[in-house]
Structure 1
Amino acid sequence: MQTALKEKGDNMENTNRRIIWINTELSEPLMNTELKPYVRLLEFNGYDVTFSSSSDDATVLLKNKRFDAVLVNYLDLSTRDYGTVARIRREDPHIPIVLLTDTDDDEIQEVVSLYNVSDVMIMPTNPRQVVSSIGFLLDKQQMRDRYTPQAYVKNFNRQYSKHASEHEGQQLNSEGVNDEKDWQIWIDTYLRFVEWDFRLDALSIVDELKTIHEAEKREANAAFADYIQNTYSSWLESKDSPPLSVDVFHKFVIPEIQIGKSVLFVVMDCMRLDHWFKIEQLLYPDFHMTKHYYFSILPTTTRYARNAIFSGLFPIELADRYPHLYAEPEEGTTSVNRYEKDLMRLQLERNGLTLKPFPYYFKIFDEHGEIQYLDWLKDVNQISFTAIVVDFLDMLTHQRSEISLFKQLIPNEEAFRMVIETWFKNSRLYTIFKLAAERGLTIIVTSDHGSVLCKNGVKVSSPHDLSSGLRVKEGLEISCSSEAGLLIDNPAAYGLPNNGRETNYILAKEDYYFLYENQYSTFKNVFDGSFQHGGISFEEMILPCVILEPK
C-alpha cells in the first residue's frame, strides 16, 4: 500500500525536494496523529513526502521516481526489517538515509555501519530536528561552499591581527634577545595553512578562494625564507633552537628505547606534513598518537637531511668525525646514503645504548622490499630497535617530473594528497604498521624533508660546474638573484663542509628553482609545476615526528 500525502507527480515545474518515508506500521490514524506534525513542517519547508508501507513498494518507487532522501521508521523491535535499508542501498548507493528509532542498541549501530546510514534520530523528537537533519544532509556541500570563504577571510584577518599585536608586544630580555620561541609561531602558521588546504579540498567551487589562499601561502613562505636566512645559523649554537634533523634520535627515539620499549622507526623519504595527515587518518583507529614537529637542516636534500637524522651530526661534523662515511658517492653508485646503518649504530653507541637483539636497518625501494621486511617482521622472535627507510614518495616526486602520465595523475597538491592516501591504504607498509601494532611495538614516523611545488624558474650562473639539483646548487662563484636564492659563502656557519675548497651553496626560496641561462627556455617548460626539494620553504623544512602507541 502506498499513501501519498502530497503527490505532484513528475511535473517539471515542481522544484520541491522529495522524501520517501518507509513505515511498515502505517495506518490512517497513526498518520493523522503522530506523523502529521512532521509532515506539515516538512511540507512547509519545501519537501514533498511520499509514504510507503513496505520496502518492496519503496524499492519500486525509488526505481521509477527521483527522491532526495529516505526516512525509515525503525521503532518497533518486532517489526524491524533488517533488509529494508540493505535494499535501499542496493537500489541507490548514495541517497541519504535517516533512521527513526526509539533506542540506540547494537542492531542500530550495525545497520548504520554496514549500510552507510546518514543519520539516526531517537523518536519521539521535535519535528524541527527531522527537518534540520534532512536539510543538513541535502545542503551540506552548498553550505560548506557558502560559509567556508567567509570563515577563511575572518580566520586570516584575525591571525594577522594577532601576530601583529604579538610582534608589537614582544619583550627583550636583559641580553636584548627575544624570549618568544618565534620558530613555534612558524610551525603554527604552517599548520594553519595545511588545515585550510584540507578544508578547501572539500569544496566544489573554490577556484577564486584557492587562488587567494595560494597567494597568502606564497607571501608567508617569502617571510619564512627571510626568517630562516636571518636565524638559521644561530640555531646551530642556541639552546633555544627548535628540534632539527640532528635532534630526532636524541629527542624522540632514544627516550622511548631507554624506557624499555621495542621501537620501529620509520623514515618516509620526502613526506610532507600534508601527506602525513592523509596517512594519519588511516592509522588513527589503531594507535594513540603523540605529535611533534621539527625543522629539516639545510639543504633539504636526502644526502644532508637524512644523514643528519641517522648520525645526529651536522654535515660538517660528520665530514670531520667520520670522513669515510661522509665521502662523496663513487661513480655509478645508486645511493648517496649507503652508510645509514653504520651512522645509526654509532649514534646509538654514543648515547650508551648497546641493544640486544642487535638493531635492524632496512631500506624499502619497492613492493619486493615491503614483502621482504613484512616476512622478517612476522618471523623474528624479539625486537629491540628496527629502522626502515621508505623511498616510495621520493621516487614518485621525482618521476612525476619525468613521466607525463604521472603529471596527469598528479596535476596539483590536492591530487598528490589523494594519491598518497590511496597508495598507503593499499600498501604492504600499512600492513607492516598493523602487524607492528599487534606485536606491541612503538612506532615513530618521520620524514627527512618535504618538497615544494615549483612555479618560478630563475637563472643561476657560475664559471665552474655546479651540482645538478634544481633547488640547491653547490660549487664555486655562484651568482643568482638574492630574492630567489640564499647564497651561503660561509658554509661552516650553516654546519656545512667546504669540501677542501671555497665551496658556495645557494638554496632556492619560496617556489623558485634554478636553471642555467643558456638552458632556461628549454628546461623551464619541463620543470614548471614540478615538485622539488633542497631549498627553503614550509613544505620542505617543517616536518612531523609522530609517536604511535598501539591502542
Structure 2
Amino acid sequence: MAVAKILWVDDEIESLQSQKLFLEHKGYAVETLTNGFDAIEYVKDNLVDVMLIDESMPGITGLETLARIKEQYSQLPVILVTKNETENLMDEAIGSQIADYLIKPVNPNQVLLSLKKIIDNKRLVAEKTTSAYQQQFRELFMALNSNPDHNEWMELYKKLVYWELEMEKSDSPEMREVFQTQKQEANTEFCKYISRNYASWVDPKAADAPIMSHQLFRFKVLPHVEKGIPVFFLLIDNLRYDQWKAIQPIFAESFRIQEEETFYSILPTATQYCRNAIFAGLMPVDIEKQFPQQWKNDDEEGGKNLYEEDFFRAQLKRLRKEDTRFSYNKILHHNDGQQLVANVHNLLQNDLNIIVYNFVDMLSHARTEMEVLKELASDETSYRSLTKSWFEHSPLHQALKKIAEKKVKVILATDHGSVRVNTPRKVIGDKQTTTNLRYKHGRNLNFDPKEVLAFKDPKEAGLPVPNVNSSFIFAKDDDFLCYPNNYNHYVNYYRNTFQHGGISLEEMIVPIIKMVSKG
C-alpha cells in the first residue's frame, strides 16, 4: 500500500514534532511548513493526500489559505486545526468544505483517527463489509431454505437489497460474485414459491395473501387521507426497491420517512395490468367485466392506461369515499413536469393528489433501444445511479421541494419493478401471440413447462381471457421469451436489458413508502 503524504501547516510547528514522529511511526510521510503562503506554493509542485492547517497564523489565516487552495485543488481534503470554538468559525469552515475540524490542543490519536477517516475510510469500510457479509451469508442461506412465507420473502428481499448496496463498498470481486450467486438462488426459490401460491392469493376467498396491487389504495393509501392535511400519492412507474433506496437520501432532506414497506405486484408485472389494478382496486378480470369498453388487451388497438382516473373515481364510489377531493396528474414529458412545478401549490386544496411519473419506465425501454444508454446503465449499480441522477434534477424533485415546507403527507409507490435478463427461452405461438419478453398470451403456445409459470385458464390468475383457448405464460428468474424466427438476432439484441412482466423478486416485491414533511 502506498505511503500517504501529509502536509501540516502551523506557525508553531516546532512544538508539534512529537506528533509528527508519532504519525511517521504509523506509516505516514509528514511534511511541515510554518505559513499559508508556503503551503499554497508547495501543493502546486507536490502531491499531497491530506493537509492539516492551523487557523490562526500570521500573514494569511488558515481559512484564507484553505480558500486559495480549494480554488485550484477542490478535491484535496483539508483538516482545520484551531483554538477557536466559536460557531461562526465552525460554520465558515464547514461552508469551505473542510474534511474535518480539530480543537487545540489535539492529541496524536485524534489526528490519527481523522486521517484514517479520510485516507483509509474506503479500505476499512470495504474490509468490514466483506467480513460482515461473510457472517450473514449462512443466515441468509438458512432463511432461504426455511420455506419463507410472503412476509418473510419481503424481509429477505430487503436484506438482499441492503447487501447488494453494501457490496458496492467492497473491493472483493470474489465476494460480489458469491453475493450474486446467492441472489440468483433466492430468485429461483422465489419463483418456485410464486408458482405454488399465486393462484390461491388472487382467489377472492383467499385467507392468507399479501397486499397486492389491487388492494394498495384500500389498505395502504386511503386510510392516511384526512381533511386538512393533503396527501400526495406519488407513483413512479417501474421503480424497483433498490432504486428507491438510491433516491431515499434525497427525499430524507425534505421529508421524514415514517414507514418503509413493500407490497406484491400482480402478474403480469406490466404497466397496463398493475397500474389499472391499483387505480381500479380490482384484478384485471374484474376490470374487464365492469369496464368492457375501457379495458384493452395486449393485442387490441389503443392506449392501455387511458382511464386510470375514471377507474379510481369508481373505486372511491365503491368504498363510499366519493366525497374525497382529489386531483390526477400524469407526467409523460418534461413539459408536463414543469407544469406540475408551476401548479403544485394549487394542489394543496385537495385531500389527495395523485401524481403518476413515467420516467423510470421510459429509461428501461430507452436503454433497450439506445446503445449509449446501454453503456450508461450497463448493470444494476449504474442503473440505480442513473435513476438517482434523474430524480435529483427532475421537475418532480422541484415540485416536492415546493410543498415540503407545508404540512403534507407523501406516499410513494410504483406499479412494478424490472429485472436484467440474460437467459433466452424458446416459445412457439401463432400470429396472435403477444410480443412481450417476460410474459406472453395466445392460443396454441408451445413451451417447456419447466421454464415458465403457465395458466391455461387465465381467470385462475385473475386475468381476462383475450381469445378462446388463450393461455398466459410468465418467465422466471432472468429468462426472456423468444420466438424461433430470427432467434439469434433477438437473443443478442435483448440480452442484458431490463425487462418486466414476469416473476422475480425485483419485479414483484416493490416499495410503498409513507413520509411527512419536516416543515
Distance 2:94 2:299 in 1: 56
Partner AA of 1:408 in structure 2: E
Q: In the alignment, what sits opposite 1:23?
A: 10
Distance apart, 1:149 and its partner CA: 2.7
Partner AA of 1:518 in structure 2: N
Alpha-carbon distance change, 16 to 457 in structure 1, aligned in 2, over 3 angstroms: closer
8 Å CA contact retained: 1:466, 1:473: yes
Q: In the alignment, what sits opposite 1:69?
A: 50
1:123 counterpart = 2:110 = no
Q: In the alignment, what sits opposite 2:387?
A: 420
Distance 2:156 2:2 in 1: 45
Distance 2:515 2:156 in 1: 24
Q: Deviations over 1:224-252 (max 9, x none)?
A: 00001111222233343211111210122
Which of these residues, 138, 144, 162, is aligned with residue 157 of structure 1?
138
Report % sequence identity: 30
Distance 1:113 1:323 in 2: 62
Q: In the alignment, what sits opposite 2:149?
A: 182
8 Å CA contact retained: 2:275, 2:415: yes
Distance apart, 1:499 and its partner CA: 3.3
Distance 1:375 1:400 in 2: 30
Alpha-carbon distance change, 319 to 162 in structure 1, aligned in 2, over 3 angstroms: closer
Partner AA of 1:244 in structure 2: M
1:269 counterpart = 2:237 = yes
1:284 counterpart = 2:249 = no
Distance 1:159 1:148 in 2: 15
1:480 counterpart = 2:447 = yes
Q: In the alignment, what sits opposite 1:229?
A: 195
Which of these residues, 203, 209, 234, is aligned with residue 175 of structure 2?
209
Which of these residues, 237, 244, 247, is aligned with residue 212 of structure 2?
244
Distance apart, 1:223 and its partner CA: 0.4
Unaligned 5+ runs, structure 1: 1-13, 168-180
8 Å CA contact retained: 2:144, 2:189: no
Q: Deviations over 1:66-103 (max 9, x none)?
A: 22211123479999643232223223222222223456
Alpha-carbon distance change, 379 to 261 in structure 1, aligned in 2, over 3 angstroms: closer
Distance 1:467 1:44 in 2: 70
Q: Deviations over 1:512-551 (max 9, x none)?
A: 0000122321210110111110000011011111112100
Alpha-carbon distance change, 298 to 273 in structure 1, aligned in 2, over 3 angstroms: same
Partner AA of 1:478 in structure 2: L
1:346 counterpart = 2:333 = no
Find the residue that maps to 1:457 and give its secondary structure: strand
Q: Deviations over 1:340-379 (max 9, x none)?
A: 01011111122222346x4211211111110122222245
Distance apart, 1:259 and its partner CA: 5.7
Find the residue that maps to 1:386 and give its secondary structure: strand
Alpha-carbon distance change, 458 to 261 in structure 1, aligned in 2, over 3 angstroms: same
Which of these residues, 517, 526, 551, is aligned with residue 484 of structure 2?
517
Q: In the alignment, what sits opposite 1:143?
A: 124
**In angstroms, what is the RMSD of aligned CA positions?**
2.5
1:60 counterpart = 2:50 = no
Say which is worse superposed, 83-92 or 69-78, in terms of deviation. 69-78
Distance apart, 1:104 and its partner CA: 5.2
Say which is worse superposed, 382-391 or 477-486, in terms of deviation. 477-486
Q: Deviations over 1:454-473 (max 9, x none)?
A: 00110011345211100000
Alpha-carbon distance change, 476 to 332 in structure 1, aligned in 2, over 3 angstroms: closer
8 Å CA contact retained: 2:443, 2:470: yes
Alpha-carbon distance change, 545 to 108 in structure 1, aligned in 2, over 3 angstroms: farther
Find the residue that maps to 2:349 and give its secondary structure: coil
Count, aligned residues: 515
8 Å CA contact retained: 2:161, 2:242: yes
Distance 1:324 1:526 in 2: 36
Find the residue that maps to 1:478 and give its secondary structure: coil
Q: In the alignment, what sits opposite 1:359?
A: 326
Alpha-carbon distance change, 71 to 81 in structure 1, aligned in 2, over 3 angstroms: closer
Distance 2:88 2:321 in 1: 52
Distance 1:90 1:462 in 2: 65
Q: Deviations over 1:296-335 (max 9, x none)?
A: 01110101100111011111121222222324479653x3
Alpha-carbon distance change, 318 to 260 in structure 1, aligned in 2, over 3 angstroms: farther
Q: In the alignment, what sits opposite 1:89?
A: 70
TM-score, normalised with respect to structure 2: 0.93
TM-score, normalised with respect to structure 1: 0.87
Q: In the alignment, what sits opposite 2:31?
A: 50
Q: Deviations over 1:454-496 (max 9, x none)?
A: 0011001134521110000011232222332111113222211
Distance apart, 1:49 and its partner CA: 2.4
Find the residue that maps to 1:117 and give its secondary structure: coil
Q: In the alignment, what sits opposite 2:291?
A: 322
